[in-house]
Every structure is written in structure tokens, then in C-alpha cells.
């Protein structure tokens, strides 16, 4: 079953067309990587999929029905089901809030839990991302980049969403932290049957997390397919160029 979908989506900023005719769907439990270079429209597409803006043409569909940003009941359901993690764990966590408040925030704003129940869910969420319970009284600046990204993932998963949407979640991280956060995402996906959408310029990170890949160039989908198939036998010239440009380790 399709959980989240873009159908024939166009989007413009003023007169500048950013996205044209985008079709993309993620199934329950499935995963899609959106790859492309700067200016391809990756982040704009993600903001549409997150209901942060509305497409000029076409529609974003959630659970088989169009997403209507004005429909507050629908959007509340949507926010409880679709959560996001962003690139920069330094700017995405409020520096003045303790970790437990940060992670509890979506529970409170969506009216899902409060008091002792909220605390318990925060504790469980922090545990599930591999952070000890005693982090909850500390502040974001006390943590490394990788730990902060874990906190951001705890905040996204505390509402038990069905879809996790991530915008370059590991790009700002060191290589060893990067693979650990990727492992965590894969673990959470398997444990909670999460659907996953990730925007990244890093095809290695996409290959390690996403079953399917969509290649964007100049605001259009140029190729889409299983990640393995696309990497092994890219059909479009642009995809071939993208893949051959990836720096590779010399074989052992």
C-alpha cells in the first residue's frame, strides 16, 4: 500500500520553475532515496512531501487521499504519521531546551501524550537510538554531531510515525559516525516497519539505506528504479555520469 506519494507535481518560486511533473511513491515499509546535485530540487520536493508547502500543480497524497494543508484534522494525523530529520543536527535542536523537552515536543504539540506517559515515551525513544537515559537533563551543546543526530531521530520517532523523511541526515557527519547513524536508521526501520524517504547527494548513503532510488536533475525525475539495479546498470546518461563521478576506494 502506498503511504506517501507525489503525483504530477510542479512547483515554482515566483516565475522560476523548480520541479516539473514529479511522480514518486513510497510503500508501507519501503524506502526511497532521492538523489541529485545542488539545484536539482531535492529539498523542495522534500518540503512538499512534508506538507510544508503545496505544489503548484499535481498533488501530494497521504494514505491514498490528497494532502490538504488547510485541513487541520488531516494535517494533525499527517504529522503524527510523517516525521522528519534534517541535515544539520547543530541548528535543528533548540539550544535552550533540555533534551527531554526537545524530544517530547512533538508529543505535546500533537496532543499525543503528556506527563508521565510522555516522559516514558521520551525515555524509550532515547533508548531506541542508543542514548542512555541520563542524557535527558542535558543540553544540545553537550553532544557531538552524531549524538545530536540521534537526538533528532529520537524526536522524530517518539510519535511512532509510519514514515521517516530525512534530508541529508548523514552528510554533516564524520565517516565513522555516518555509518553508525545509517545502521541506526536501518535498525529503526526494521523494528518499527517504518517507511523511509531520504534526500541525499551521497549515493553511498542511499545505497546503504534505500531499496529504491529516484534521480533528479533540473527539477525532473530522469531515472527511477531499484537502488541496486540503478547502480549496476544506470540507463540515463546523467545517472551514469553521477555514478562514475563517485570517488571509490582502490580495491583491496
Partner 1 sequence: MTEPLLSMNALSVRSGETVLVNATDLEVAAGERVGLIGESGSGKSLTSLAVTGLLPESLRASGSVRLAGVETVGADEQVLRPLRGPVAGVVFQEPLTALDPLMRVGRQIAEPIRRHLGLRGSVLDRAVSDALAEVRLDEQRFARAYPHELSGGQRQRVAIAIALAARPRLLIADEPTTALDVTVQSEVLDLLDRLVAERDMGLLFVSHDLAVVARMTDRVLVLQHGAVVEEGAVREMLRAPQHPYTAQLVAHARVLDAALDGASGPEGAR
- Chain residues that interact with partner 1, rule: CB under 8 A: 31, 37-38, 145, 174-176, 178-179, 182-183, 186-187, 189-190, 201-205, 207-211, 227-228, 231-232, 241-250, 252
State the minimum distance, in angstroms, from the CB of residue 174 to partner 1: 4
- Here the cell at position 96 is 535552550
CB 35 within 8 A of CB 242: yes
Closest CA to 81 of 199, 166, 194: 194
User: Could you count the other beta carbons within 10 Å of the beta carbon of residue 168?
Assistant: 20
Kindly tell me which of 1 and 249 has the beta carbon lying closer to partner 1.
Answer: 249
Minimum Å gap between C-beta 250 and partner 1 is 6
| Beta carbon nearer to partner 1, 37 or 142 | 37
Report the 10 Å Cβ neighbour count for 116.
Answer: 8
For residue 216, give the 3-state DSSP assignment: strand
| β-sheet bridge partners, residue 7 | 59
Least Cβ distance, residue 215 to partner 1 (angstroms): 12
Q: Minimum Å distance from CB 168 to partner 1?
A: 13
**195-200/16-27 β-pairing:** unpaired
Nearer to partner 1, 80 or 177 (CB): 177
Choose between 32 and 46: whose C-beta lies nearer to partner 1: 32
Q: Which is nearer to partner 1, 9 or 203 (CB)?
A: 203
Kindly tell me which of 202 and 236 has the beta carbon lying closer to partner 1: 202
For every residue of 115-159, DSSP letters joined together read: HHHHHHHHHHHHHHTT--GGGGGS-GGGS-HHHHHHHHHHHHHTT
The least CB distance from residue 148 to partner 1, in Å, is 13
Backbone angles phi, psi at 232, to 5 degrees: -75, -35
| Closest separation in Å from C-beta 211 to partner 1 | 6
Amino acid at each position: 500500500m502506498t503511504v506517501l506519494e507525489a503525483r504530477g507535481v510542479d512547483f515554482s518560486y515566483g516565475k522560476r520553475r523548480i520541479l516539473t511533473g514529479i511522480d514518486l511513491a513510497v510503500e508501507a515499509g519501503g524506502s526511497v532515496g532521492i538523489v541529485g546535485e545542488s539545484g536539482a530540487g531535492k529539498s523542495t520536493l522534500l518540503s512538499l512531501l512534508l506538507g510544508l508547502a503545496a505544489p503548484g500543480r499535481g498533488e501530494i497524497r497521504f494514505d491514498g487521499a490528497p494532502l490538504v494543508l488547510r485541513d487541520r484534522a488531516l494535517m494533525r494525523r499527517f504529522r503524527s504519521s510523517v516525521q522528519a530529520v534534517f541535515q544539520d543536527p547543530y541548528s535543528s535542536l533548540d539550544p535552550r531546551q533540555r533534551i527531554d523537552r526537545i524530544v517530547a515536543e512533538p508529543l505535546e504539540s500533537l496532543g499525543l501524550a503528556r506527563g508521565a506517559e510522555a516522559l516514558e515515551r521520551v525515555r524509550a525513544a532515547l533508548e531506541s537510538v542508543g542514548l542512555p537515559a541520563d542524557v535527558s537533563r542535558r543540553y544540545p551543546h553537550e553532544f557531538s554531531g552524531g549524538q545530536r543526530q540521534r537526538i533528532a531521530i529520537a524526536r522524530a520517532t517518539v510519535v511512532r510515525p509510519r514514515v521517516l523523511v530525512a534530508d541529508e541526515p548523514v552528510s554533516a557527519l564524520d565517516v565513522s559516525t555516518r555509518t553508525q547513524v545509517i545502521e541506526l536508521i536501518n535498525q529503526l526501520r526494521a523494528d518499527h516497519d517504518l517507511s523511509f524517504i531520504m534526500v541525499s547527494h551521497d549515493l553511498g548513503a542511499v545505497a546503504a539505506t534505500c531499496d529504491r532510488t529516484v534521480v533528479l536533475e533540473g527539477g525532473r525525475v530522469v531515472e527511477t528504479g531499484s537502488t541496486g539495479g540503478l547502480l549496476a546498470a544506470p540507463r540515463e546518461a546523467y545517472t551514469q555520469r553521477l555514478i562514475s563521478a563517485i570517488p571509490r576506494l582502490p580495491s583491496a
